[in-house]
Chain A
Amino acid sequence: NAGVTQTPKFRVLKTGQSMTLLCAQDMNHEYMYWYRQDPGMGLRLIHYSVGEGTTAKGEVPDGYNVSRLKKQNFLLGLESAAPSQTSVYFCASNSPTGYQETQYFGPGTRLLVL
């Protein structure tokens, strides 16, 4: 099992360009999440999905859109990139049941917006 994979690993964008980050998981998890990680600020939730075809906003959703057309994939889109979106993006997944809420993370995508 590959677990959670993310593509690309690294990307440089110019302000105003668009791009899509792909997250894929092979653990048949129901829930998927997108976080961003900035120095000194920890992981902050951007958007999440509780199942195929559903999405919801997290703590910092502005400037991002997401789609979950297939259970195993969760896409994060930046329509018009801004320098403030320079960050490391992590995808995670799980199938929370009862008190079992452990999330499993991908290796991250490093994005630089110039």
Chain B
Amino acid sequence: EDQVTQSPEALRLQEGESSSLNCSYTVSGLRGLFWYRQDPGKGPEFLFTLYSAGEEKEKERLKATLTKKESFLHITAPKPEDSATYLCAVPPGSARQLTFGSGTQLTVLP
């Protein structure tokens, strides 16, 4: 069964304290791994798509990386405005859908 597991469930950082979020997946024939950001009371907002092991993508203080079994979202010198829930997702098998992990709730304290 295709699965997506995110860890930790919650992470509290001080402003400027770098860290990483993990997304591990089990799916045959990966067709992409998606990262979304979700602010409280809003819908998920697309961040990145990674397609192959070794690929990296960056956006401001965020960098996403991909291996054959997991993806990391690295947050460098975070600011309070980076506080949000970060979701990862993969298309399961051949279906044109997304299976989501349960997310990591990030809180960055000033």
In the bound complex, CA of A70 to CA of B96 (Å): 20
A102 and B34 within 8 A (CB): yes
For B34, B91, B97, which residue has the most chain A Cβ atoms within 10 angstroms? Answer: B97
Distance from B26 Cβ to chain A, minimum over Cβ atoms (Å): 15
Q: Which B residue sits closest to A31, measured CB to CB?
A: B96
Interface digits, B89-110 against A, CB 8 Å rule (1 contact, 0 not)?
1010000111011110000000
Distance from B98 Cβ to chain A, minimum over Cβ atoms (Å): 6
Pick the residue among A43, A50, A96, A100 that contacts B44 (CB under 8 A). Answer: A43
Q: Which A residues are within 8 Å of any B CB, using their own CB?
A: 4, 31, 33, 35, 40-45, 48, 50, 58, 90, 92, 96, 99-108
List the 3 shortest-distance A-B pairs measured between CB atoms, nearest first: A105-B43, A42-B102, A43-B100
Q: Which B residues are within 8 Å of any A CB, using their own CB?
A: 9, 31-32, 34, 36, 41-46, 49, 51, 87, 89, 91, 96-98, 100-103
